[in-house]
Amino acid sequence: MEINATYNSLVAVGDSFTEGMSDLAPDGSYRGWADVLAARLATRSPGFRYANLAVRGKLIGQIVDEQVGLAAGMKADVVTLVGGLNDTLRPKVDMVRVRDLLTEAVERLTPSCGQLVLMRSPGRNGPVMERFRPRMEELFEHIDTLADRHGALVVDLYGAPPLGDPRLWDVDRLHLTADGHRRVAEAVWQTLGLAPEADWREPLPPAVRPGWASRRIADARFAREHLGPWIGRRLTGRSSGDGRAPKRPELLPYEPE
Q: What amino acid occupies position 5?
A: A
- Tell me what pLDDT residue 51 has: 98
| pLDDT(41) > 60 | yes
Tens digit of each residue's pLDDT (9 = 90 or more) over 45-60: 999 999 999 999 999 9
Closest Cα partner for 169 from 238, 121, 109, 135?
A: 121
| pLDDT(150) > 90 | yes
Type and span of the H or E element at 12: strand 9-14
Residues in the chain: 257
pTM of the model: 0.87
- Tell me what pLDDT residue 91 has: 84
> Which segment of 3-12, 41-50, 168-177, 209-218 scores lowest on mean pLDDT?
209-218
- Tell me what pLDDT residue 176 has: 94
| pLDDT(213) > 50 | yes
- Tell me what pLDDT residue 191 has: 97
Instruction: Describe the strand order of the beta sheet including 9-14 as a list of residue ranges.
Output: 153-156, 115-120, 78-82, 9-14, 49-52, 248-253
Strands 248-253 and 49-52: antiparallel
Distance CA 198, CA 91 (A): 38
Tens digit of each residue's pLDDT (9 = 90 or more) over 85-129: 999 988 889 999 999 999 999 999 999 999 999 999 998 887 777
Contact 164/123 with Cβ under 8 angstroms? Answer: yes
- Tell me what pLDDT residue 6 has: 86
Give the CA count within 13 Å in the CB-facing half-sphere of 152. Answer: 32
CATH fit for domain 9-207, picks 3.40.50.1110, 3.10.20.30, 3.30.70.890, 3.10.450.50: 3.40.50.1110
Mean per-residue pLDDT of the chain: 89
pLDDT band at 1 (very low <50, low <70, confident <90, very high): very low
Domain coordinates in residue numbering, the chain:
9-207, 209-242
